[in-house]
Amino acid sequence: MESIYYVLCWHCHRRCKHCYDDRFHPYVRDELDQVVSEARDNAPRIIANLPDSMRFLDAEASGDEAVYRTGRIILSGGDVLTDPVRENVLYPTLEAIQDKYRDKGGVKVIVQTTGDLLTEKILAELLDRGVWSVSAAGMDDYHVGMQGEKRQPLIEKLRDMFESAGMISMAEHAQRRLSDADSTPVYTLFGATDESWIGKLWPRGRAWRNDLSKATMADNFCNAWSGGLGFLQQGKSGSEVSIDPDGNVYPCCIKTATPLGNLAEEPLTEILYSVAELPAIQAINQGQPQLMGLDDGWQENDFLNACHTQTPTGNEYANLCIGCDKFHQTVLGPQLNQLQSQRRAKRLGVIASTGQPA
């Protein structure tokens, strides 16, 4: 894969009004123990079921010779730098990922955090564990205390901290045209702004409940990076999937209403090969969700009509993600669940007949 976006744990020290998942928030006592235990216990199984190699073919490279590059695994939350998660989940996961890929072409590991929990000590611990990049992703008006000019002192502090540790900005990395083999660590500072990432906000989680999504039918999140576009292209550029702490895997960070499968149980490659022939999955892979139902009795107009709804506050709203959710709930979800059950039965059958897992 070119990229794997792995949400390591639900725990977060913030409860941002724009967050795309209600499960990202502070936990205490038994609930905190539960989410940390889930993340800690599932991580080794998930890592074991990741691809054997994170090398991928660069389909855009010029020249006659094939160019292979090193893929990346993005570890995010929540916030993976909170005290309960950092020592118990993040550091062991970083070490396990390095062990898995050390002799198999390597991997570029990115740690994504809001930024306000990072210290010089933690940064050194991350770099010592082979982290290639740190992304401070809370630089936006939605994070309390980060509105407008309020975030400038933190931005300057983080930039000084990164550069004192020998890191360079992602922009400088691109400008210097460093080779794929260059190990110079990099940093990025960004947030949910109109010019960056989820600026219009996905119709998900608290962003949805708070009526904050500005996306329209013209905003096809599927036909973009971290959307479904190209996620099936195993071993080639453009391929990315998203993983939840429980192991559920999705074709996009936005998350479809039904997962493709579960990495705590089965290998990612087997899941992707299993679902790849479904016409609806092909439509997601092509970044054309409006075509998902053509083989299941949904014409394009049927899908587009299903994209219209009302927000929880009663405002009219329409986006392709809404239609995708409805199609999953009524048609594609049962198909994916059936395939997962078939794969599980096959594994159990192999275990029963040979005593060994498939």
Q: What is the pLDDT of residues 156-188, one digit of tens each?
A: 999 999 999 999 998 898 888 778 878 899 999
Query: Of the given ranges (97-111, 283-297, 343-357), which has the lowest mean pLDDT?
Result: 343-357
Q: Which two tokens stand for residue 203?
A: 């119709």
- 31-83 pLDDT, tens per residue? 999 999 999 999 999 999 999 999 999 988 877 789 999 999 999 999 999 99
Q: Which of 170, 172, 173 is nearest to 182 (CA)?
A: 173
The percentage of residues in the chain with a pLDDT greater than 70, rounded to a whole number, is: 96
Residue 358 pLDDT level (bands cut at 50, 70, 90): low
**pLDDT at residue 346 greater than cutoff 70:** yes
- Bigger pLDDT: 97 vs 358: 97
**pLDDT at residue 303 greater than cutoff 60:** yes
- Could you tell me the maximum CA-CA distance found in the chain, to the nearest angstrom? 65
Please give the pLDDT value at position 141. Answer: 77
Q: The tokens 């960070």 sit on which residue? A: 253
State how far the Cα of 341 lies from the Cα of 343, in Å rounded to an integer.
5
Query: Of the given ranges (25-34, 52-61, 91-100), which has the lowest mean pLDDT?
Result: 52-61
- Decide if 322 contacts 312 (C-beta within 8 A): no
- 210-257 pLDDT, tens per residue? 999 999 999 999 999 899 999 999 999 999 999 999 999 999 999 999
pTM for the complete prediction? 0.94
Residue 134 pLDDT level (bands cut at 50, 70, 90): very high
Helix and strand tally (H, E) in the chain?
Answer: 12, 13
Please give the pLDDT value at position 354. Answer: 67
Mean pLDDT in the chain?
93
DSSP 197-228: TTTT--S-HHHHHTT-----TT--TTSSTTTT
Going by DSSP bridges, is the β-strand pair 248-250/240-243 parallel, antiparallel, or unpaired? antiparallel
Please give the pLDDT value at position 197. Answer: 63
Please give the pLDDT value at position 6. Answer: 98
Please give the pLDDT value at position 174. Answer: 84
**pLDDT at residue 18 greater than cutoff 80:** yes
